[in-house]
Amino acid sequence: MQKQKLNIIKVGGQVVEEPDTLAALLAGFACLDGLKALVHGGGRAATRIASQLGIESRMVAGRRVTDEAMLNVVTMVYGGLVNKTVVARLQSMGVNALGLTGADLNYMLSDKRPVKDVDYGFVGDVRRVDSEILADLVRRGVVPVLAPLTHDGRGNMLNTNADTIASEAATAFARHFDVTLTFCFEKKGVLSNPDDEESVIPQIDRELFARYVADGTIQGGMIPKLENAFAAIDSGVSRVVITRADMLGTDSGTVIV
């Protein structure tokens, strides 16, 4: 039996935090035919609000170090401000959205990341995703809006990279649907020259990825984004695309192979 198609869109960076770009992204998302889900970030908003509260933000290799104070901030910002704003906007567009953290419906459990070279603090590495409950929601016409927060099953929230949430959710959904995962951000795709918007790399495989990381072409937050893209492909996701938010639904961007 042929699987139904499902689009999972991950959006973050400036797209989420700027009213105009968010409005354009959500309008494009609302127009997508068929089954869909949305995963959002919001790191810049968390950094801004943390600064207003006198809390220092620290990043290592594109990933946020989350101490107890920062965990409170990201829980408020990701699970509250950003998530519910997105849900409310989608409802105004006729999309029956439901905002979720990993603790809601116990859909995504994580373990606190062990300390190795870096102590990331209260950051979760995903242990289990309940694919059945997510698939049931989607089949009922619900559009999940997933915040980058998980929990450990012992009452503790954990900050979890939004690209990881997208990859893990896409992998879980792939057991039930033919999944396309699209990472949307402020560039047209992965660029060979960060100063040239037109220098989109049309396809990236693992060998090319390793070469671009080694020579500095790919760096910062793009590294975990691509690592999660490869993980999704390896785990049954049909297609992964990295593109600009306003190009949603087109053939533009970088395809991960």
Domains of the chain: 5-185+240-249 (3.40.1160.10)
What's the confidence (pLDDT) of residue 13? Answer: 66
**What's the rounded mean pLDDT across residues 58-75?**
89
- Strand 63-65 to 58-60 pairing: antiparallel
Q: Which helix (H) or strand (E) holds 239?
A: strand 239-244
- Strand 108-112 to 124-129 pairing: antiparallel
Give tens-digit pLDDT for 237-257. Answer: 999 999 988 888 777 899 998
52 pLDDT tier (thresholds 50, 70, 90):
very high
**What's the rounded mean pLDDT across residues 39-68?**
89
Residue identified by tokens 């990933």 is 63
Percent of the chain clearing pLDDT 90 (strictly above): 73
Residue identified by tokens 């459990």 is 109
**DSSP-assigned letter for residue 66:** B
* pLDDT at 46 exceeding the cut of 80: yes
- DSSP alpha helix (H) spans, the chain: 14-17, 19-31, 43-52, 68-76, 83-92, 131-139, 162-173, 206-214, 222-234
What's the confidence (pLDDT) of residue 19? Answer: 84
96 pLDDT tier (thresholds 50, 70, 90):
very high
**What's the rounded mean pLDDT across residues 56-62?**
82
Residue identified by tokens 């400036």 is 14
What's the confidence (pLDDT) of residue 59? Answer: 85
* pLDDT at 101 exceeding the cut of 90: yes
